[in-house]
A and B are shown apart, each in its own frame.
Chain A
Amino acid sequence: MLDQKFPISRRQFLGTTALTVAAAATSSMAMPSVLRAQGALVKLGVLHPVTGALSYSGQQGRLGATIAIEEINAAGGIRGLGKIDAVLGDAQSTPDGGTAEVEKMNSAGVACIVGGYASNICLATTQAAARYELPYVVDVGVADTIVTRGLKNTFRFGPGFGVIAKTALANLATINDQAGKPAKTVMIVHEDSLFGSGLAKLLNAQLPQHGFQILETIPHPTPTRDFNNVALKIKAQNPDLVIPANYYNEYVLLARTMQQQQVRPKGIYSVLGGAASSYKFVKEFPEAAKYIMDCNHWFDPRSEKAQALKKKVEGKDQFFTYEVYMNYSCVYLIADALQRAASADRAKLTAALETSTFSGHVMPYGPTKFVNGQNEGAAPVNTQVLDNDIKVILPPAFANAKPVFPMPA
């Protein structure tokens, strides 16, 4: 019916779509989308999964990076090089999506790329960038394989699994000892992909050394629709401590189900908990969040810059999540290296990153020192939800509150 009534329009439709599609495909290869800055000279790739399953984290990461770029540009850009031109990319929550963006950014002539977020995306993107000796700063991606593959272009400013698990255990032991060792038994609830199962493995190996007995380790997929079984198991075994390691949505469901099932361990001590140190969670579930401890990425609460950034982000009606300040810091790390390299040349920039002693960032880290691409100064901190706020309880150097453990009834 349709073709008889509109023979021409249909043919035209076909012809034009084929043409536009082809034209669009070729030109988009040559010119990726660019936020044009006036008189820009240094291009910086900002790559996050802003659509798909990881889009919340990706969008938060992009927010942090763009705030830093705006600030740097407002202050006149990189001395001697000019302003930063952000080349935004969407990894679409997949490794191949990320790789395609790296290729486009490389064609666009970026000096460096920041981002990736998820470990599996970072594994693919750092490797794609390595082909061009294009410096790449991983924003989050905690899998240690990202930096242990010997890729010269890859840098990670934040901590990896190994360090996080080690710190988490040492701090847990400290907190438990200070309270007179009320906790002896533990259950671990973790999501089953790279991040959760990697952590669970390390915890299983190391917790017994600190005198804890692991009653059970429960993996669950992401997404998990129901946590009642998990809550039942916890209730049946009644551990002193529950250690969750999962993403925000699952964490919310778990915490809510535990509350419904009236499961009350002596403490909830999460490691890289998706919600445990999230302002959103504390705001929306103040009861469920109370006294939860977390070993996670966090900003330095004493840093004025960090507090100013927090205000700025909250002013945009967004939550101040770790993706924001980690990306923010990574951009400043790159800006510092660009300044010292005094050039956007990739080899010179890589060398400048290798020797970086970047300070004045918003993270509670030790002195910046890169060894095989990993910042040795990076470490997580321990937070606890106290008085409807999130406080840092360890290490003492950055703490603004004392741990409350065991949980008051």
Chain B
Amino acid sequence: MLSPTILIPAILNGLLTGAVYALVALGLTLIYGVLHIINFAHGALLSAALFAAFFAYRLLGLDPYIAVFLLSPIFFAFGYALQRFIIGPASGGDDRNMLLITLGIAVVIENALLFAFRADTRTIDVPYAFKTIDFGFTFLAVPRVVGFVAVFLVALVLWLIMTFTDIGRAIRAVAKEKLGAELAGIDVAHVYAMTFGLGSACVAVAACLLIPNYYVNPSVGNSFVLIAFTIVVLGGMGSVPGALIGALLIGVVESLSGLFLGESLGQIGIFVIFIVVLLVRPSGLFGERV
């Protein structure tokens, strides 16, 4: 069991799984870092995005890796509108209410999907779904390797946006000092909505990279939410590199604890690491000290 022939593939698999988590967590950490809310609707948005990727393939014949360029702008717009016209006004800027609003929205989205598409589990059958890369000691599935590479690209794009664009600067300003940014003439409601839009676009990217190797049903997103929250906090909220490294770390921890403790008990590894890290370093791995 401890032999390297199983240990090394398990670590590699953990990294690949971690990359998937990172894709989901990147969007969440943006929203979290700027709006300071725990977005309960993130999982439902992921389910919706997976459905979108599914139908893009089935109805339009779009490969998910191409559909990503169509879906991420759509989800950006959807996220923008959601924050600008519902979450923002409905919460009146109160964190606590924002949390419940996203909870309400999650219930609506999940059940709208159930209502529209029934509860069937659906999968797509792309030609490369079963393709693997042979490393000699292990096989890695092509869609997972693509996801791994893509997450770094997504993180890079996010970093570029945050560092070099006006909106990126505005987002960082609002995240750091909301009142000051407001006084400096920044339209906070717009910045919030842009952030939520970016976060939602990340979800669409995650969905397109996930669907070739996964399935979709109305509640599928929920299984990623807890873990994404964990990663966001572990990495330090709002930190893009934090989310990335946190996700890879969690992926490996999950894989190894699953290997040694069994898949059921192994899940505990994620949460124990999380608790221990926060008890020792209350602002997360890459967060600024509160």
Q: Within 8 Å by CB, do A and B touch in the complex?
A: yes
Is residue B132 contacting chain A, with contact meaning CB distance below 8 A?
Answer: yes
Which of A219, A249, A259 is within 8 Å of B263, CB to CB? A219
Q: For the complex, is B118 an interface residue (Cβ under 8 Å from A)? A: yes
A219 B219 Cβ-Cβ under 8 A: no
Closest to B258 in A: A229
* Most A CB within 10 A of own CB, among B6, B218, B263: B263
For window 216-253 of A, CB contacts with B under 8 Å fall at 218-221, 223-226, 228-230, 232-233, 236, 248-249, 252-253
Give the Cβ gap from B145 to chain A, nearest Cβ, in Å. Answer: 11
Known contacts A53-B219, A228-B17; A233 and B129 CB within 8 A of each other:
no
Which of A56, A259, A260 is B119 in contact with, Cβ under 8 Å?
A56
B283 interface residue (CB < 8 Å to A): no
Question: What is the CB-to-nearest-CB distance from A237 to chain B, in angstroms, rounded to a whole number?
Answer: 9
Q: Assess whether A262 is in contact with B119, with CB atoms less than 8 Å apart.
A: no
A192 within 8 Å of B (CB atoms): yes
Smallest beta-carbon distance A371→chain B, Å: 35
Cα(A260)–Cα(B258), bound, Å: 20
B230 at the interface (CB under 8 A from A): no
Q: Are A229 and B264 in contact (CB under 8 A)?
A: no
Interface of A is mostly: helix
Q: What is the CA–CA distance of A142 and B215 in the complex, to the nearest angstrom? A: 27
Chain B residues, CB < 8 A from A221: 263-264, 267
Report the bound CA distance from A262 to B13 in whole Å: 15
A52 at the interface (CB under 8 A from B): yes
Q: A223-B223, A229-B258, A260-B141 are in contact. Are A55 and B263 (CB under 8 A)?
A: no
Chain B residues whose CB sits within 8 angstroms of the CB of A218 once the complex forms: 262-263
Bound Cα distance from A284 to B54, whole angstroms? 14
A256 within 8 A of B: yes
B258 and A252 within 8 A (CB): no
Tell which of B17, B129, B220 touches A226, judged by Cβ atoms closer than 8 Å: B17
Q: Count the A residues whose beta carbon is within 8 Å of the partner chain — how many?
A: 36
Q: Looking at the complex, which one of B6, B118, B125, B132 makes contact with A233 (CB distance below 8 Å)?
A: B6
A225-B10 contact given A53-B219, A218-B263, A236-B5, CB 8 Å threshold: no
Residues on A with C-beta less than 8 A from B10 are 228-229, 232
CA distance A314 to B14 in the complex (A): 41
- With A52-B219, A260-B139 known as contacts, the answer to whether A59 contacts B119 (CB < 8 A) is yes
- Asked if A17 lies at the interface with its beta carbon under 8 angstroms from chain B, I say no
Q: Are A192 and B264 in contact (CB under 8 A)?
A: yes
Question: Given the complex of chains A and B, what is the CA–CA distance between A249 and B214 in angstroms?
Answer: 9
Interchain nearest-CB distance for A261 vs B (Å): 5
Q: Which residue of B lies closest to A57 (CB)?
A: B119
CB-CB under 8 A from A253, the residues of chain B are: 214-215
Please, which residues of chain B bring their CB within 8 A of the CB of A256?
Answer: 129-130, 213
Would you list which residues of chain B between 102 and 148 have a CB under 8 Å from chain A?
111, 114, 118-121, 123, 125, 129-130, 132, 138-139, 141
Whether A56 contacts B139 by the Cβ 8 Å rule is no
Given the known interface contacts A56-B119, A59-B119, the answer about A224 and B219 at a Cβ–Cβ threshold of 8 Å is no
Checking B17, B118, B213, B267 against A56 with a beta-carbon cut-off of 8 angstroms, the contacting residue is B118
Interface residues of A (CB under 8 A from B): 51-53, 55-56, 58-59, 192, 218-221, 223-226, 228-230, 232-233, 236, 248-249, 252-253, 256-257, 259-262, 280, 284-285, 287
Contacts A51-B114, A56-B217, A219-B264 known; list 11 others, CB within 8 Å.
Answer: A55-B114, A56-B121, A58-B119, A226-B17, A228-B16, A229-B258, A233-B259, A236-B6, A261-B139, A285-B125, A287-B130
Complex A-B: 23 CB contacts under 8 Å: A53-B219, A55-B114, A56-B119, A59-B119, A192-B264, A218-B263, A221-B264, A221-B267, A223-B220, A223-B223, A224-B263, A226-B13, A228-B10, A229-B255, A229-B259, A232-B6, A232-B13, A236-B3, A253-B215, A260-B139, A261-B138, A284-B123, A284-B125
Q: Nearest 3 A-B pairs (CB), nearest first?
A: A220-B263, A55-B119, A56-B119
Enumerate chain B interface residues (CB-CB to A < 8 A): 1, 3, 5-6, 9-10, 13, 16-17, 20, 111, 114, 118-121, 123, 125, 129-130, 132, 138-139, 141, 213-215, 217-220, 223-224, 255, 258-259, 262-264, 267
